[in-house]
Amino acid sequence: MGMVATRRRIGSAYVVGCGRYGEVSRFAREQGVSRQWVYREAEQVSATLAGTRTRQHIERLQAEVADLRGQVAHLEQRLSSAVVVDDEKQTECACVAQACGVTLAQCRTLLQVLIPGKTLSVPSLGRRTQAVAKQAGALLEVFDAYARPLVREGAGDEIYVSDPVLMVVEQESLCWVCGQLSPDVSGAAWAQEFARLPNLEQMARDGGTALAKGVAVVNAQRQEQGQEPVVDQGDHFHALWKGGMGLPRAEKRASQALAEAEAAQKILEECARQGQSQKAPGIRAGHAWRKAEKAMDTWQETERLWQQIKDALPLITPDGALNTRAKAEAVLAQTLPQLPDSDFAKPKRQLQRPEMLNYLDRVQDRLAKLPFPAEVTQAAVQQEALRRRPELLKGESTQGAAWRGVMLLCAAVLGQAEQGQQALAAVRDIFRRAYRASSLVECINSVLRMQQAQHRKLTQGLLDLKRLYWNCRTFRTGHRRGSTPYQRLGVPWPEGLRWWDVLKLTPEQLGNKLSTAKTAA
């Protein structure tokens, strides 16, 4: 056979690969094995020589290494976005929850979802929150030293939680500048809050007597000191809202009268079909229809008068002109007496108060003080007024074309004037700050109403925590989005500083950061 190897597997490989016909059978008989065994040994030798098994083992190991690397990358990615919910993070969650009006028990329930069995108890969260609230009160004193002198237009209101809370909000920025628990709601208490706003120019308020007395007291103090008084602006929102409730009543009466007339008419028609006397039913139907017509006329007239009253109050009238006290008072004097006292008694009393139109006088005074030529100021006023009434510029009517011509003429005057754009910016700022409602303070009141519904008591510390959180939070929507109330008011804010980072600072450290940020600005 010519085989020189002594090991059987090599012999099997030899006879399978190089042997003649019948040598595999003979070799198997000599070795005492089957032919299949010989072939398997030959295959093993071939695989060993070719390195197939080694390569398969290496490939399997490489696949396992690649899989392990993928798992490690996934774990590293999760680790990069993971948050360690330790005691400090639980404290931060509890403080945010309290600032948003969520109870500590509810906060702990949510934390249990993240770290079951490892959350702090409600009393522990409460003690930590109280400590942070105390720190918030000290830090607010530093912020208030910067924020309160910047307040020019404010809105005031009181809300009753566990005790009365005196609230003042800056109108443009929605910065919560005053939030003080008070044992009573009086003019003296409000005057004390207003005294903390040295540069306050206008205070919008509702019809509360304590607020009115507070403005009167602080104005008396300013008069003694030779300072400009605070403009006492009555709230239009509540007055118009109360008046709007009278219209549905008139509509309801008209609907009822119409239904009665239709019912009387059906009775009359039924009598005619049955051949009965129509005299009495006809009289009742006629009376009912006259009553319905009168009710409908009253409803339409009331709606027309109320629309005239609403149009008399805005800064820009429906005809595109700047409103004045004389124009508004003339319309109110003509329309208010025609409204029925049964439905409009309270709004009529409110709208007849002099402070309801004080904002118009303030706008006229500020326009008169602008350092621009009269024709430039007038062009800027007219252009801004038309910009706020875009419906006048639309359409193919003669009047619309005339208003578009006026707009072009104003633009030409402002373009030729050296200070045209400055005048337009100044007029726009005056118009934008012509606040005539205190409804913005209700946005902040809603923060406390959640506390009122969820908690038994509201402490001054918790109120300070809420106020600091509100002023440091970033608006998500609207024209204020992307900024905080403090930033919009003009308070210096160190870049990258978060609300929770602020609470870790001492008042001295915060003061240094704010002073540095102000210098850098």
User: What's the 3-state SS for 13-51?
Assistant: HHHHHHCCCCHHHHHHHHHCCCHHHHHHHHHHHHHHHHC
What's residue 6's pLDDT? 41
Task: Report, in angstroms and rounded to the nearest whole number, the Rg of the chain calculated over CA atoms.
Answer: 41
Is 118 among the domain residues? Answer: no
Q: How many domains does the chain have?
A: 4
CA 35 from centre of chain: 87
**Given this model, what pLDDT does residue 52 score?**
65
Contact in structure between 376 and 366 (CB atoms under 8 Å): no
- How far is 476 from 109, CA to CA, in rounded Å? 26
Q: Does 328 lie in the same domain as 295?
A: yes
160 and 231 in a common domain: yes
Give CA 437 to chain center in angstroms.
Answer: 18
What is the spatial distance between Cα 251 and Cα 521, in angstroms, rounded to a whole number? 58
Tell me: do 354 and 375 sit in the same domain. Answer: no
Confirm whether 87 is domain-assigned. Answer: no
User: Which of 302, 331, 358 finishes a domain?
Assistant: 358
Considering only the C-alpha atoms of the chain, give the largest distance between any 2 of them, rounded to a whole number of Å: 142
Contact 300, 258 (CB under 8 A): no
Instruction: List per-residue pLDDT tens for the chain, 521 residues long.
Output: 444 444 677 777 777 778 778 887 888 888 888 888 888 887 777 777 666 667 777 788 888 888 888 888 888 887 777 778 888 889 989 999 888 888 889 899 999 998 898 899 999 999 999 999 999 999 999 999 999 999 999 999 988 877 889 999 999 999 999 999 988 889 999 999 999 999 999 999 888 889 999 999 999 999 999 999 999 999 998 888 888 888 888 889 999 999 999 999 898 888 888 888 888 888 998 999 999 999 999 999 999 999 999 999 999 999 999 999 999 999 999 999 999 988 898 889 999 999 999 999 999 999 999 999 999 999 999 999 999 999 998 888 888 899 999 999 999 999 988 888 999 999 999 999 999 988 888 888 887 877 766 766 788 998 999 999 999 988 888 888 888 999 999 998 877 788 888 898 999 999 888 888 754 44
Based on the domain organization, do 456 and 497 belong to the same domain? yes
Is the residue at 509 inside a domain?
yes
> How high is the pLDDT of residue 447?
78
Range of the domain at 291: 254-358
Where among 358, 387, 405 does a domain terminate? 358
Residues 421 and 490 placed together within one structural domain of the fold: no
Amino acid at residue number 102: V
The Cα 346–Cα 342 span in angstroms is 9
Residue 25 pLDDT: 84
Is the distance from CB of 106 to CB of 113 less than 8 angstroms? no
- Taking the whole predicted model, whether its pTM rises above 0.85 is answered as no
- What pLDDT sits at residue 449? 78
Do 18 and 66 fall into the same domain? yes
Whether 230 and 283 share a structural domain: no
CB atoms within 10 A of CB 314: 16
d(Cα 197, Cα 343) in Å, to the nearest integer? 39
pLDDT value, residue 378: 94
Distance CA 414, CA 379 (A): 7
Q: Which two tokens stand for residue 179?
A: 């939030």
Give 294-306 as a DSSP string.
Answer: HHHHHHHHHHHHH
pLDDT at residue 456, as a whole number? 65
